Structure 1
């Protein structure tokens, strides 16, 4: 009987091994492979392909013309076909520490790397990702430190007449400390939503690591949906699996300045449902691109609400044609805001960003009026690599 059981076990193991081989085929292709010197090899098994390329932000950027100016597009490199139809490309130089994104182009069709399960959506584009550790990029990794909690929540916005979704980060120990915390409202750019900063911006990893290192105060971070016509991120609302878009038709029917006018609804919800410290000294607001525009307008329209303001890759300017109270009397509102002496007014931009000139013009206007601010300039353009940098620079300055 014992011998029969052993034979049966061997047969089962053989069957399992055969089944795995039948399901997965030959040995798996490793991609991306990060070498000890931080060069990276990308591989794709495509024996019938004529051309295979890789495109990603680890390659030199390509300038492309758009209606909004020159943007930086990810570079492209050719893979070379090798044994068993496996195509391969290795970077010629080590990659600097960073979170990188990439995808393959096979005979003109962009596809994901089937060997890499890690992917992120940016508006309507999905890419694979990988991290080269070291330096600032270690802040983007999940390290062995106390971790905060990320929650997706719904709040009611009477101003917009709908329930809306937000993402909230609470620092490690929030659930048991009994303490009250300052709040940082972090806004996304055009086409983004309440998922953008937590996924692409690595907000929870950055805050976990900065707080653990004693470089940032423990804080609550609230990531809103800045599209006033939208309940939530695509696929997370009652509209179902809608196609993400930078300029959906719904936006045409949205009242100008609606998001700014409705922002107190978010603050009221957060301060009712979380243990928060009250007052402008305990509130910060910042955003990238469109979120920078929103942050500038909200902080100017509600000058007693936020003591800390961050404008990443964007600014704001006069809009004489607007009928919205948010944008009216620009100079007067800005004068009132700065008369209250912001604890920090922070501006950051890449030196090849298409908004660089408008940011420079805005800074010139602030200088001419004697309005104090702090400025940070980085290399590169309108890209998440920069916005992650700005978050790591801005967060440690808050609530000191």
Structure 2
């Protein structure tokens, strides 16, 4: 009797698993999207027989001007899909250069993700699908058969901010088995981002694994903190629970983050095998993170030997009145006089911050403060910032 009872329970369990599997199978559309072809064109498909119109928008399409909280910026264009007699809408792109791309559909005016592509990514409050095309630059964004580092989410005590806070940290391949001490890159996100941004949108772990494996970058620890001082963690990951992320939260870029940045450095140097000196510290960031990089590195002018300003948001702010922002010229001169190995500035030709960066470079030129400058195509986009990381990291700790 017991044997039959256990067999019955097992049968119910197996049938339950099969039912769930069938639900997942029948709930999915049985079409392929995106389909990446050998000639690097990509076909997108969407099943919506009753829809009046379906469009696609993504960063692989020609850009258009858009109004944003930061002013007019380049944004993704859109194209129409065509419907066949089965109600499947489709669109095939032109040949795309190697890159990580993002996209969404617009169905009768409503933006939606691709139900046939499970690969999604969040940028501030927008969720889009992503896909990779080709090798070349995109090869650095792929998971390759090379030794891999470790990505951890850690909580650290910030006495200056009065809370425990979350950060993302990459340790290089072999770190756990090594007694060696490593240099550290502090990598900062832009407005609306958080400690998830660089590891997800920036492909930091894949880039570092591949550069280290190729011998192009030294093994290093990469620390990606949360630059929003009112948060202890990213939306959905902190004590405030699940809420809609905002582009500019209170106390953004008011000096509080910069003034308390040493809390992060102290945590890293107390808990990781690091070389705790100026020659083995680098700091870099995109947009707001570039602004933070500029101010942190001059406010603590003998702390970093390597600085990277990626599309830095160097602009006057009415609330920039704290101690961190005082005596800009004097602290920059102190930083210059102390000496450093690399002050690296990069920006796209159509970036809305281009003129502000041009003015900042003129200030450095007038001071005689040395820097390296890279000017790329494109605007204020992750495509540029990933490339900048692949260019900046190989120059560190030489």
TM-score range relative to shorter protein:
over 0.9
For residue 90 of structure 2, the aligned residue among 73, 88, 91 is 88
Report the 3-state secondary structure (helix = DSSP H, G, I; strand = E; otherwise coil) of the residue aligned with 1:326: helix
Indicate the residue corresponding to 2:152 in structure 1: 151
CA distance in 2, matches of 1:393, 1:30: 35
Instruction: Give the SS at the match of 1:58.
Output: strand
Q: Is there any run of 5+ residues in structure 1 with no aligned partner, and where?
A: 1-11
Q: Contact 1:320–1:328 at 8 Å: present in 2 too?
A: no
Shift of the alpha carbon at 1:83? Answer: 3.1
Q: Quick check: 1:70 aligned with 2:68?
A: no
- Per-residue CA shift, 1:323-353, capped at 9, x if unaligned? 3111001111000000112110000000000
2:62 alignment partner in structure 1: 60
Q: Which position in structure 2 is the counterpart of 1:164?
A: 165
2:46 aligned partner? 44
Q: Cα offset for 1:359? A: 0.3
**2:390 paired residue number:** 392
Cα-Cα RMSD: 2.3
8 Å CA contact retained: 1:315, 1:362? no
Q: What whole-Å deviation, never above 9, does each CA across 1:159-196 have from its counterpart, x for those lacking one? A: 00000000000000000011100000000000000000
Distance change (3 Å), C-alpha of 1:176 and 1:340: same
SS at match of 1:99: strand
Structure 1 stretch 256-265 or stretch 268-277: which is displaced more? 256-265
- Residue 355 of structure 1 and its aligned partner are, at CA, apart by 0.1
Residue matched to 2:277: 279
Q: Does structure 2 retain, via aligned residues, the 8 Å contact 1:297–1:316? A: no
Cα distance change on mapping 1:151 and 1:67 into 2, 3 Å: closer
In 1: Cα distance, 2:380 partner to 2:24 partner: 46
- 2:133 is the alignment partner of 1:135: no
Question: Deviation of residue 316 (structure 1)?
Answer: 3.4
Contact 2:308–2:392, Cα closer than 8 Å, also in 1? yes
The answer on whether the counterparts of 1:34 and 1:41 sit within 8 Å (CA) in structure 2 is yes
| 1:219 correspondence with 2:217 | no
1:89 Cα deviation after fit: 0.4
Q: Is residue 2:337 matched to residue 1:335? A: no
Partner deviation per Cα, 1:292-342 (whole Å, 9 max, x = no partner): 000000000001111100000015367797431110011110000001121
Could you report, residue by residue, the CA deviation over 1:198-246 in whole angstroms, capped at 9, with x for unpaired residues?
0000000000000000000000000000011110100001110011001
Tell me by how many angstroms 1:380 deviates. Answer: 0.5
Q: TM-score normalised to the size of structure 2?
A: 0.92
Deviation at 1:67?
A: 5.2
Deviation at 1:142, TM superposition (A): 0.4
Q: What is the alpha-carbon distance in structure 2 between the residues aligned to residue 103 and residue 204 of structure 1?
A: 25
Q: Are residues 271 and 87 of structure 1, via their aligned partners in 2, closer, same or farther at CA, if it must alter by over 3 Å?
A: same
C-alpha change, 1:49 and 1:159, in structure 2 (3 Å) is same
1:103-252 alignment runs, 5 A limit: 103-248=104-249, 251-252=250-251
1:367 aligns with 2:365: yes
Q: How do residues 282-297 of structure 1 correspond to structure 2 at under 5 angstroms?
A: 282-297=280-295
Aligned length: 385
Runs of 4+ in 1 over 6 A off after TM superposition: 318-321
Looking at structure 2, the residues matched to 304 and 293 of structure 1 have their Cα atoms a distance apart, in angstroms, of: 18
Tell me the alpha carbon deviations over residues 224-276 of structure 1, each in whole angstroms, 9 at most, x when there is no partner. 0001111010000111001100123xx15x79311011100000000000000
